[in-house]
Amino acid sequence: MEFDLLISDIEMPGIDGLHLAEMLDNKLVIFCTAYKEYAADAFNIDAVDYITKPVKLERLQKAVSKAFERFDKADNSKKFIQLNTDKGKTLLYFNKIQYITTATSDSRDKTVLLTDGSFLNLKNVKFDTLLNELPDADFCRINKKEIVAVKAIKFFNHNEILLHHLEENNKNTALILSETYRSDFLKKVKL
């Protein structure tokens, strides 16, 4: 189901609104509830607003305006980077990246696994340059030779990360999580 904004109560049968909002990935949420005591929890999960019942039209309009402001900001953020490849220049869209690794043929080059399963060879680019351009919350360096998109991760432990991507042998792509980058990685996956 595609939507941009959820307006939800907190106490509902089956699942409460806070848990529902936590399950939604990057969706804007406004809570309307009779209970003031959940306000701190709502803002901890980055709710747009918290309205107590009975809801007044002006108050709801103000909350929806806040949501529009946030939506516009998110929409205006940079979505790609222009880079050189072995085939010419490309626009590499952040949401298409699964992981980036040092190319086997030349350590100055990087190989990108895209969400469609194809690979792209970036010419003469440093990891630091890429990390400066990539959205910090969505990407993490995991060892000296690899950067991973957080959304591409299926499983992980302290030493290894398995991606959703399947190799030709039908096994998930496995990447090493080195000790140097472990604490930063664990912060990004909210542990």
Q: Would you list the domain boundaries of the chain?
A: 5-76, 81-188
User: What's the rounded mean pLDDT across residues 41-60?
Assistant: 88
User: What's the rounded mean pLDDT across residues 21-26?
Assistant: 80
Q: What does the pLDDT look like over 107-144, one tens digit per residue?
A: 999 999 999 999 999 999 999 999 999 988 889 999 99
User: Is the distance from CB of 177 to CB of 142 less than 8 angstroms?
Assistant: yes
Per-residue confidence at 75, pLDDT binned at 50, 70, 90?
low
Sequence-distant (6+) residues with CB within 8 A of 18 are 10, 38, 41, 42, 45
* 0.85 surpassed by pTM: no
CATH hierarchy code of domain 5-76: 3.40.50.2300
Is CATH 2.40.50.1020 the right assignment for the domain spanning 81-188?
A: yes
